[in-house]
Amino acid sequence: MSRFPASLSAAALAAAITAAVPGVARAQLSLADALREADRGAYANRAAAGAADAERARTLAPLRGILPSARLEAGFVRTTDPIGAFGTTLRQREVTPAAFDPARLNYPAPVNNYSSGAVVEVPLFNPDAWAGRRAASRAADASDAQAIWTRLATRTDVIRAYYGAALATERVATLEAASRAAQAHLSQARSMVRQGLVTKSDALLASVRAGEVEVQLAEARGDALNARRQLAVLLGRAEGALPVVPGALPTSDRILALVAPDTALGPAAPRADVHAAEAGREAAEADVLRARATLLPRINSFARYDWNAPSGAFAGERNWTVGVMASWSLFAGASELADVRGAAGRRSAAQAMAEGAVAQARLEAEQTRTALDVALQRLAIAEQGAAQGAEAHRLVEKRYGGGLATVAELLDAQATETGSALALSHARYGVIAAAAARRQALGTDPGTLAVLEENAAPVARTADPLPTTPPTR
């Protein structure tokens, strides 16, 4: 027999687990709060957001070849090199007739020089930088869209895990009821054995059945705890901070009222993963232009002020220099050809990925509709089976009390009722999971299923609205 009393209710079980585990959140977590928590703290979401930020930062690198740049320079030199010493004296504008003395020119005294400068560089024609900027921008858009898709997928996972934990808790309550019924049947069989109405085998069979239910109940309690642990990991919670979930799934009527229309939804909306693939294709095309543009000449201009003085930086007379520089790399060991061919290969791969994303989205839209239809049919059958199983158990129990049925029939009827109740719970969960997958497949937010909660506010308040595609830049 289990060490858990058969009379322990689902609420008492939750309270016992909460008290036994340090750091457990005692307030029941709503689905809307779970979705918001996952948006902020889920490991996958945080990783995707960081990757998107890093990709967006890369769009700044090509600006080096597009925007002007300015810098300050300063340095110190002490030299006895004849050319360096004379040139330094000349830069400091301190040349006198004595500086042309051959002995002084050949063996100059050490000369100190503080060189300083202010430099402005203005790119004039760098086509590879402009194409690289376009490629980086579209790659950043792809990363942003992928981050949104990751959040949508995480919301679907949260819904499954949240109601999966509720399903596990409801299974515990169902098996507790089955355990109480099994104990009642055992007591009834023992009483009838004492009265000589049935044989001892009836009591033995009832005892075996009660033990089987206790084992199932112990497993269900462990599964319920593990389900909460899984939800905590998905939410990105610290170790030991287990969420408290509802003790039962939403009713079938509430599920059907919200989910049934999903089977008749029209064509899918633009999906974030498809947008990411298309942006990746555009980024690859722009990268091909960048690679080809490296074969073109570059033209840049500059202007600078320079100071040279023996006493300190930015001292002495200044001089200025302006100029334009053109460069054209005609051959660099075939590395430029490797860049062009590599970019072309990446473009082909990105094109295939974009086409594959569209095809996959179409397939998932069709698959999830079929899966939801099947889940709804299973729920209807499970509803009927649960009602019939309960009624059959009641009738057999009545017949057994009158000596018209065997204990095997009674135990089978109880097992059938328990199995049909568990099947109904799984069917309700299956519809919710299928609906979440269906909404994600159609490019909409599965978080709108938060209204399944009994006391949920309107959709706009139950979960933060999540864009399905990034804004056009």
**CA proximity to 435, closest of 250, 270, 272:** 250
| Closest-CA residue to 242 (of 161, 345, 324) | 161
Cα–Cα distance between 144 and 278 in angstroms, integer? Answer: 12
Q: 115: which strand partners? A: 75, 308
How remote is the C-alpha of 317 from its chain's centroid? 61
SS3 content of the chain, % helix, strand, coil (to 5): 65, 10, 25
Looking at residue 333, its pLDDT comes to 67
Beta strand residue intervals within 310-450, DSSP E = 318-327
Nearest partner of 421 among 466, 383, 373, judged by Cα:
383
What pLDDT shows up at residue 209? Answer: 79
Residue carrying the six token digits 């919301």: 155
pLDDT one digit per residue (tens) for the chain, 473 residues: 333 333 334 444 444 444 444 444 458 899 999 999 999 999 999 999 999 999 999 999 999 999 999 999 999 999 999 998 898 888 888 888 888 888 888 888 899 999 999 999 999 999 999 999 999 999 999 999 999 999 999 999 999 999 999 999 998 988 888 888 778 777 877 877 777 766 677 777 778 778 888 888 898 899 899 999 999 999 998 877 889 888 889 999 999 989 888 877 666 678 999 999 999 999 999 999 999 988 889 999 999 999 999 888 888 888 999 999 998 887 776 777 888 899 999 999 999 999 999 999 999 999 999 999 999 999 999 999 989 988 988 888 888 777 777 777 777 788 888 888 889 999 999 999 999 999 999 988 999 999 988 654 443 334 555 666 665 55
Q: Is 458 helix (H, G, I), strand (E, B) or coil?
A: coil
- Long-range CB contacts (< 8 A, 24+ apart) of 349-354? 349/284, 350/277, 350/280, 350/281, 350/283, 350/284, 350/285, 351/281, 351/284, 353/277, 353/280, 353/281, 354/274, 354/277, 354/278, 354/280, 354/281
d(CA 438, CA 444): 9
Distance from C-alpha of 213 to C-alpha of 205, rounded to nearest angstrom: 13
Quote the CA–CA distance of 219 and 227 in Å, as a whole number: 12
pTM value is 0.80
Distance of alpha carbon 147 from alpha carbon 60, whole angstroms? 20
